[in-house]
């Protein structure tokens, strides 16, 4: 028998329940164990920073990975899912700086590096725990107990081994180069860490005076005035045209040299009296001209520096014909400038320190000013020196630190580089061996990045990271340590020591060349290098090789597309260094979650809810589906409304499952024992249709999932839930399922419903695991978890296109009629008098015939009529339309008369006569023959009839209302109101109720005529009409057919009573119901009944009546079932109280004080000569009296009956009752 499903859809409660279920039953461990002999599948997790914050972008990444994990587990793979966390990096340091209120590296050093590192370790370790907890709540099935962290000694050792391989193979070198530097973080960074942003900047055109030409200047534009301070030369493009223009302003004349393509715009920046183009020359002709540095006084270094090309014009094709077409070659302040300087042997010079301040090591006017703060001073000095041509504020694209957002500077520093430029060809070759999803990530984005990549700066000037394992001697000797064993050979090593700064720096080596002490270089590694080794470092290779040999390389990695030039690239480089192969087989790249401005969501995105907050509203399953509901490789615009919509769809699925569970449980249906072979002969049209739709769904979902199109899979599933299952099939089978007893047709419906729910649960399980698990366990429970099931595959033989096409036509009719109802204001609850379905094609006719009952039910029509092709509806009004032109050609002067007479004839007879070729009219004593071309025929709809066109036919809808239809509508609405009240009271479908109604005479009359039908529809034992106000435990005012209506409901809790009745041998549902209807509404009442009282009840009889009485005479039963006397301690009271006790059988509590408990009046024995029927009648009169004449707050019919049963048979007795007596009564 099925386990059943709770009524209320509470996503959070379901998820918590399933989370506990998996944990307590060790489901994940058992599942992994069962898949050990399957094909290995290694899914490597790209480690997020251990910030402790999980945003929706993180969630999308983990959900897509989890779908892969669960899907492949269901398909029998031995999934090795290795999660990880990047605990290192500047991002973590910046968070700690903020927490500790430190500013910059110097304050960290004052605080104490050792203490700072310990705090970093504690902070990230705690964050990892928080993030794992949230990911687990999200339902992410990585192997969290064995997550790798980049701060562990084992991981660091693997990275060191990789570094050593790079050094051994000549792929790692130390060089001084110009690199991007973050002045806030005070460290070099790599090119792929640069984030470009548009900013407002004060750009300047500077006039550099030519030394050998009086009053002639070359114009040089720069968006950063501070670059002028370090310029060693000026570069122009040798192939571009430049012009020499004589300009006059007031009484001053001079010559400007600028790019020919932009000269008009440049000249427009000043108000010249006149301009004259002297000549156009190539940039090559300017090469070698010497100029006077504009800031010669402010930067005395320019007075001292020497060199063949210093302060001269050089040429480079790198210079673009934009602005003035000339570039300041600030050799120590830009990468392109550095490379141009190298070509000409220019000195590498920068006046900036690593923190972005102008140095005080050389004399200069701007010492200790931040580079951007110095701009205003530099512009002023240029203006004072009369070399500032123009100043503009414009938007430029500038590099920023992706971690802290600071504007970057470029300065020369000595760093360690991986020689990636020399790896181009091999890296491009490696990309071809990878399966890229989507393909363009590899063939486009990755290919382009590799083709243009520079050498990779891997050294950082920070603290919390993997220390670069390089020791250097003053003599130049270098030692690279590749393992802990190698480290042990140094001085200062202690067993189990942390490999971080500052402990690692206490280890020294004796130089093998000169015998001096070798010290470690003061660098940490780029975290991208650290994580690039993750595929083997996470397995602790090469120290341990067992797991590595079994699983490496990973079958798939799943990360954001932005990781193309980050983690994807770094892994490829390290794979080439360590193994000369790509360290993964396939890449699944996905888009970001973006905000309304299309910026990727981060930890600090305003107005964006966290996954935990969203789950608190809609549950994690709704969030998971949402995160997978767009093509994975596109960016998703954040939308809480879409999550809300998915939550509504899951509620619909849940409601279907609850409906199925309730009735299946009632009929003790066991899905495991029923197969399609058993029910095949009893499947109705709608059953076959849903099974076909289910197989179609399965086929579409399976195809989509295999292509990683989880969004397409969800669209199919969502449509099936909302349209096929909820809005069609459930409505069609509802009445079949509600009938008592388990017929063959009902069994078939149960089979189809359970098959659909279990199959949907299986298909949905990888993306929405919690609700899928709960539905699976509640309906099927064949295995301990849905994930032990094989992911379902479609049985194409069960797909029936003919049935589906027929149902498609039927549903088109339903939609058409629905649109007519909506347009005409005719509610669905009001039955339609008649709907005529006219087919114009044979296949349409057959389809409508097969689906007639379904159509009739779904459109709520009293009568439907189907017309085959060629037959018109008799009720259509036929009109004859004379063709005056055709008539006039034959009968000339009689044409108008004939037309008039034709309109007066029966159009039907005219048409029949013409079709026979014999129709004539009498005109002025003569017969005239009417030819076919003389008339046409139109049809007109009868009054209040509306039509709509469907594929292959027409639908006619009669909107006329009859008294019977009005009555039927009133009854259905009334029953619906009661059902809504039952739902609000959370009553079981099998619980009986008493209904009390107060309304006007007209409505009462209609309801009374159908009272028995209403009671069946609402599971009411009594339906009573009262004057004034209705009473009951739950009373609601309604409006029905424009009349006031008050409904009161009192639940009788039949289900709980029946459960106790079923303990009696031979008891059945029908017998229990008969006893309940006869007034035995509790086990206590039944225990006092005599055989004579019972034998007259339908379905009981003498024999079973005696069995019931004998049952209660058994000593053990009397002790268990008979209510205890108030104030008397019984063995029953000493036992553990039952978990679930209904109001009718509540037992009085034992008093806390030792004083004698006041006794309740005992139920009076039935007086001789008074039948039980009379006693019940007296009780109901008492109840009515209490409900109508006396208003006691909180006193409903069930409590009034309890008072009567306790001996209070009149108001006087009740008025004389003691408070203590009443307080001891069951509530």
Buried b (16+ CB within 10 A) or exposed e, 577-603: bbeeebbbeebbbbbbbbbeeeeebeb
In the predicted structure, residue 1153 carries a pLDDT above the cut 50: no
The DSSP letter of residue 917 is T
Q: Are strands 877-882 and 388-401 parallel, antiparallel or unpaired?
A: unpaired
How high is the pLDDT of residue 902?
85
How high is the pLDDT of residue 1197?
66
Annotated domain spans of the chain = 11-158+550-590, 201-399, 469-522, 667-799, 810-874+943-958, 877-940, 963-1052, 1158-1227
Phi-psi region of 723 (alpha: psi -120 to 50; beta: other; left: phi over 0): alpha
Provide mean pLDDT across the span 537-554.
Answer: 96
41 versus 940: which is more confidently predicted? Answer: 41
DSSP annotation string for 658-679: HHHHHHHHHTT--GGG--HHHH
* Least confident stretch, 188-197, 321-330, 551-560: 188-197
Sheet holding 517-520, edge to edge: 478-480, 470-472, 517-520, 509-510
How high is the pLDDT of residue 916?
83
Q: How crowded is residue 550: how many other Cβ atoms within 10 Å of its Cβ?
A: 12
The DSSP letter of residue 934 is G
pLDDT tens, residue by residue, 646-687:
999 999 999 999 999 988 888 888 888 888 889 899 999 999
Q: How crowded is residue 462: how many other Cβ atoms within 10 Å of its Cβ?
A: 22
pLDDT tens, residue by residue, 123-153:
999 999 999 999 999 999 999 999 999 999 9
Query: Strand ranges (DSSP E) for 782-856?
Result: 834-839
* Least confident stretch, 118-122, 431-435, 771-775, 1018-1022: 1018-1022
Q: Does domain 11-158+550-590 have CATH number 3.40.250.10?
A: no
* Least confident stretch, 48-52, 261-265, 841-845, 964-968: 964-968
pLDDT tens, residue by residue, 34-46:
999 999 999 999 9
Domain 877-940 fold = 3.30.720
User: Cα–Cα distance between 55 and 52 in angstroms, integer?
Assistant: 10
Nearest residue to 398 via CA among 406, 387, 386, 388: 406
DSSP annotation string for 533-563: THHHHTTTTTT--HHHHHHPSPSEEEEEGGG
Sheet holding 409-418, edge to edge: 187-188, 172-182, 409-418, 456-457
Provide mean pLDDT across the span 995-1013.
Answer: 89
In the predicted structure, residue 1120 carries a pLDDT above the cut 60: no
- Please check whether residue 404 is in contact with residue 94, taking contact to mean a CB–CB distance below 8 angstroms: yes
In the predicted structure, residue 1162 carries a pLDDT above the cut 60: no
Domain 667-799 fold = Isoleucyl-tRNA Synthetase; Domain 1 (1.10.730)
How high is the pLDDT of residue 738?
83
Q: Report the SS3 class of residue 1002.
A: helix
- The count of residues in the chain is 1227
Provide mean pLDDT across the span 74-85.
Answer: 96
Q: Report the SS3 class of residue 275.
A: strand
614 versus 1153: which is more confidently predicted? Answer: 614
Q: Which residues contact 85 (CB under 8 A, 6 or more apart)?
A: 47, 48, 49, 50, 124, 127, 128, 131, 147, 148, 149, 150
Q: How crowded is residue 16: how many other Cβ atoms within 10 Å of its Cβ?
A: 13
How high is the pLDDT of residue 1219?
61
Provide mean pLDDT across the span 1205-1221.
Answer: 70
User: Cα–Cα distance between 979 and 1018 in angstroms, integer?
Assistant: 6
Whether the bond into 491 is cis, omega within 30 of 0: no
1176-1181 long-range contacts, CB within 8 A, separation 24+ = 1176/1079, 1178/1209, 1179/1204, 1179/1205
The DSSP letter of residue 316 is -
How high is the pLDDT of residue 1145?
27
Provide mean pLDDT across the span 316-339.
Answer: 94
How high is the pLDDT of residue 644?
95
How high is the pLDDT of residue 78?
97
- Residue 1135: which pLDDT band, with cuts at 50, 70 and 90? very low
- Residue 807: which pLDDT band, with cuts at 50, 70 and 90? very high
* Least confident stretch, 111-125, 303-317, 331-345, 877-891: 877-891
Nearest residue to 615 via CA among 59, 130, 129, 68: 59
In the predicted structure, residue 216 carries a pLDDT above the cut 90: yes
pLDDT tens, residue by residue, 1166-1198:
444 445 556 666 777 777 666 555 556 556 666
Residue ranges of the alpha helices (H) in 148-288? 153-168, 263-267
- Which element (helix H / strand E) includes 1207? none
The DSSP letter of residue 48 is P
User: Cα–Cα distance between 1148 and 1127 in angstroms, integer?
Assistant: 8
The DSSP letter of residue 227 is G
In the predicted structure, residue 351 carries a pLDDT above the cut 60: yes
pLDDT tens, residue by residue, 1053-1067:
887 888 888 889 888
In the predicted structure, residue 585 carries a pLDDT above the cut 90: yes
User: Cα–Cα distance between 491 and 510 in angstroms, integer?
Assistant: 8
1171 versus 445: which is more confidently predicted? Answer: 445
In the predicted structure, residue 887 carries a pLDDT above the cut 50: yes
Q: Which CATH number describes the domain made up of 201-399? A: 3.90.740.10
- Please check whether residue 279 is in contact with residue 244, taking contact to mean a CB–CB distance below 8 angstroms: yes
- Please check whether residue 1202 is in contact with residue 1182, taking contact to mean a CB–CB distance below 8 angstroms: no
In the predicted structure, residue 1159 carries a pLDDT above the cut 50: no
Buried b (16+ CB within 10 A) or exposed e, 879-913: ebebbeebbbeebeebbeebbebbeebebeebbeb
- Please check whether residue 502 is in contact with residue 117, taking contact to mean a CB–CB distance below 8 angstroms: yes
Q: From the CA atom positions of the chain, what is the Rg in Å?
A: 44
How high is the pLDDT of residue 362?
87
In the predicted structure, residue 594 carries a pLDDT above the cut 70: yes
Mean pLDDT of the chain: 88
Whether the bond into 542 is cis, omega within 30 of 0: yes
Whether the bond into 438 is cis, omega within 30 of 0: yes
The DSSP letter of residue 1032 is S
pLDDT tens, residue by residue, 820-872:
988 988 888 888 989 999 999 999 999 999 999 999 999 989 889 999 998 98
Percent of the chain residues topping a pLDDT of 90: 61
User: Cα–Cα distance between 653 and 648 in angstroms, integer?
Assistant: 9
In the predicted structure, residue 157 carries a pLDDT above the cut 70: yes
In the predicted structure, residue 217 carries a pLDDT above the cut 50: yes
Whether the bond into 553 is cis, omega within 30 of 0: yes
Note the pTM of the prediction, 2 decimals.
0.80
How high is the pLDDT of residue 1124?
37
149 versus 905: which is more confidently predicted? Answer: 149
DSSP annotation string for 1115-1168: HHHHHHHSPPPTT---HHHHSPPPS---GGGPPPPPPSSSSPPPPPPPPPPPPT
Query: Strand ranges (DSSP E) for 265-408?
Result: 274-282, 313-315, 326-329, 388-401
User: Cα–Cα distance between 1163 and 1165 in angstroms, integer?
Assistant: 6
User: Cα–Cα distance between 332 and 337 in angstroms, integer?
Assistant: 8
For the chain, helix (H) and strand (E) counts, in that order, are 48, 40
pLDDT tens, residue by residue, 266-289:
999 998 989 999 999 999 999 999
Provide mean pLDDT across the span 731-756.
Answer: 90
- Please check whether residue 1087 is in contact with residue 1163, taking contact to mean a CB–CB distance below 8 angstroms: no
How high is the pLDDT of residue 455?
94
How high is the pLDDT of residue 971?
87
- Residue 204: which pLDDT band, with cuts at 50, 70 and 90? very high
């Amino acid at each position: 028998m099925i386990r059943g499903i709770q009524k209320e859809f509470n996503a959070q409660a379901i998820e918590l329940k399933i989370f506990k279920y998996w944990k307590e039953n060790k489901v994940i461990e058992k599942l992994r164990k069962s898949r050990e002999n399957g094909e290995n599948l290694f899914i490597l997790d790209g480690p997020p920073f251990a910030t402790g914050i999980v945003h929706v972008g993180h969630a999308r990444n983990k959900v897509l990975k989890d779908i892969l994990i669960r899907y492949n587990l269901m398909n029998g793979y031995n999934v090795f899912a290795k999660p990880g966390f990047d605990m290192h990096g500047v991002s973590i340091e910046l968070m700690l700086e903020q927490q500790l209120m430190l500013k910059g590296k110097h304050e960290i050093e004052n605080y104490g590096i050792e203490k700072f590192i310990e705090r970093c370790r504690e902070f990230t370790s705690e964050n990892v725990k928080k993030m794992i907890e949230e990911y687990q709540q999200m339902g992410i099935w990585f192997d969290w107990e064995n997550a790798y962290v980049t701060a562990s000694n084992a991981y660091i050792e693997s990275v060191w081994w990789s570094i050593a391989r790079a050094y051994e193979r000549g792929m790692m070198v130390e060089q001084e180069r110009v690199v991007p530097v973050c002045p806030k973080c005070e460290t070099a960074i790599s090119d792929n860490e640069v984030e470009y942003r548009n900013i407002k900047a004060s750009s300047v055109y500077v006039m550099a005076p030519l030394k050998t030409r009086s009053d002639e200047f070359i114009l040089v534009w720069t968006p950063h005035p501070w670059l002028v301070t370090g310029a060693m030369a000026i570069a122009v493009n040798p192939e571009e045209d430049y012009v020499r223009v004589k300009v006059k302003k007031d009484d001053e004349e001079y010559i400007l040299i600028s790019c020919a393509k932009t000269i008009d715009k440049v000249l427009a920046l000043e108000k010249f009296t006149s301009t004259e183009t002297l000549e156009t020359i190539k940039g090559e002709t300017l090469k070698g001209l010497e100029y006077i540095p504009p800031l010669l006084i402010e930067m005395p270094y320019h007075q001292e520096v020497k060199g063949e090309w210093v302060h001269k014009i050089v040429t480079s094709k790198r210079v673009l014909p934009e602005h003035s077409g000339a570039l300041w070659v600030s050799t120590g302040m830009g990468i392109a400038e550095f490379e141009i300087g190298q070509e000409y042997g220019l000195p590498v010079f920068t006046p900036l320190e690593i923190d972005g301040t102008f140095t005080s090591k050389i004399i200069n006017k701007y010492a200790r000013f931040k580079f951007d703060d110095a701009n205003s001073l530099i512009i002023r000095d240029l203006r004072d020196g009369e070399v500032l041509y123009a100043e503009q504020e414009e938007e430029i694209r500038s590099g920023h630190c992706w971690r802290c957002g600071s504007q970057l500077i470029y300065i020369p520093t000595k760093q360690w580089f991986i020689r990636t430029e020399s790896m181009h060809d091999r890296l491009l070759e490696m990309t071809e061996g990878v399966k890229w999803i989507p393909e363009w990530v590899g063939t486009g984005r990755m290919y382009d990045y590799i083709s243009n990549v520079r050498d990779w700066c891997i050294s950082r000037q920070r603290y919390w990271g993997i220390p670069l394992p390089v020791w250097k001697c003053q003599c130049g000797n270098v030692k690279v340590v590749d393992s802990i064993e190698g480290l042990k050979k140094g001085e200062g090593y202690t067993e189990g020591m942390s490999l971080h700064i500052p402990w690692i720096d206490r280890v020294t080596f004796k130089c093998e060349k000169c015998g001096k002490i070798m010290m470690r270089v003061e660098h940490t590694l780029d975290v991208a290098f650290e994580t690039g080794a993750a595929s083997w470092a996470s397995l602790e290779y090469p120290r341990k090789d067992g797991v590595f040999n079994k699983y490496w390389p990973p079958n798939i990695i799943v990360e954001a597309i932005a990781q193309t030039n980050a983690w994807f690239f770094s892994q490829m480089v390290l794979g080439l260094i360590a193994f000369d192969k790509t360290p993964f087989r396939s890449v699944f790249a996905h888009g970001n979650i973006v905000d309304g401005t299309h910026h990727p969501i981060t930890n600090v995105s305003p107005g964006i809810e966290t996954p935990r907050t969203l789950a608190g509203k809609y549950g994690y399953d709704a969030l998971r589906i949402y995160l997978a509901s767009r093509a994975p490789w596109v960016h998703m615009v954040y939308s809480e409304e879409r999550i809300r919509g998915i939550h509504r769809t899951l509620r619909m699925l849940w409601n279907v499952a609850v409906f199925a569970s309730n009735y299946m449980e009632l009929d003790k249906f066991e899905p495991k024992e029923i197969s399609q072979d058993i029910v095949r002969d009893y499947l109705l049209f709608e059953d076959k249709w849903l099974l076909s739709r289910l197989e179609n769904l399965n086929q579409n979902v399976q195809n989509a999932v295999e292509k990683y199109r989880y969004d397409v899979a969800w669209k199919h599933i969502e449509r099936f839930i909302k349209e096929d299952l909820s809005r069609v099939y459930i409505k069609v089978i509802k009445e079949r399922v509600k009938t008592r007893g388990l017929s063959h047709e009902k069994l078939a419906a149960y089979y189809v419903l359970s098959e659909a729910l279990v199959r949907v649960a299986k298909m949905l399980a990888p993306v929405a695991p919690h609700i899928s698990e709960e539905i699976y366990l509640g309906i099927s429970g064949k295995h301990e978890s849905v994930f032990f099931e094989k992911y379902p595959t479609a049985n194409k033989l069960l797909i029936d296109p003919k049935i589906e096409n027929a149902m498609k036509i039927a549903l088109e009719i339903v939609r058409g009629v629905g649109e007519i109802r909506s347009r005409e204001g005719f509610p669905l609850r009001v039955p339609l008098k008649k709907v005529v379905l006219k087919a114009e094609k044979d296949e349409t006719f057959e389809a409508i015939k097969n689906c007639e009952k379904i159509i009739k039910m779904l459109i709520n029509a009293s009568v439907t009529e189907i017309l085959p092709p060629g037959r018109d509806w008799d009720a259509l009004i036929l009109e004859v339309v004379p063709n005056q032109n055709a008539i006039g050609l034959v009968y000339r002067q009689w044409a108008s008369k004939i037309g008039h007479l034709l309109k007066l004839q029966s159009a039907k007879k005219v048409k029949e006569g013409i079709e026979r070729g014999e129709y004539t009219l009498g005109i002025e004593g003569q017969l005239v023959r009417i030819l076919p071309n003389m008339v046409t025929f139109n049809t007109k709809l009868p009054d209040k009839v509306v039509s709509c066109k469907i594929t292959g036919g027409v639908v006619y809808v009669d909107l006329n209302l009859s008294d019977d239809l009005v009555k039927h509508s009133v009854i259905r609405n009334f029953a619906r109101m009661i059902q809504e009240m039952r739902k609000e009271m959370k009553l079981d479908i099998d619980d009986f109720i008493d209904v009390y109604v107060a309304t006007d005479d007209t409505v009462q009359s209609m309801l009374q005529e159908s009272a028995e039908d209403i009671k069946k529809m609402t599971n009411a034992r009594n339906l009573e009409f009262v004057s004034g106000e209705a009473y009951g435990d739950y009373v609601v005012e309604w409006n029905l057919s424009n009349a006031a209506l008050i409904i009161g409901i009192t639940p009788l809790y039949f289900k709980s009573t029946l459960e106790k009745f079923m303990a009696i041998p031979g008891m059945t549902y029908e017998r229990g119901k008969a006893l309940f209807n006869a007034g035995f509404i509790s086990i206590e009442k039944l225990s006092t009944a005599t055989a004579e009282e019972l034998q007259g009840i339908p379905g009981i009889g003498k024999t079973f009546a005696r069995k019931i009485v004998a049952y209660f005479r058994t000593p053990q039963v009397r002790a268990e079932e008979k209510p205890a006397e108030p104030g008397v301690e019984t063995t029953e009271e000493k036992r553990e109280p039952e978990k679930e006790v209904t109001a009718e059988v509540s037992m009085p509590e034992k008093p806390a004080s030792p004083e004698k408990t006041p006794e309740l009046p005992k139920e009076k024995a039935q007086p001789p000569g008074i039948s039980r029927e009379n006693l019940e009648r007296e009780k109901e009169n008492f109840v009515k009296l209490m409900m109508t004449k006396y208003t006691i707050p909180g006193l409903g019919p069930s409590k009034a009956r309890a008072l009567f049963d306790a001996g209070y048979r009149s108001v006087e007795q009740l008025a004389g009752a003691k408070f203590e007596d009443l307080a001891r009564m069951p509530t």
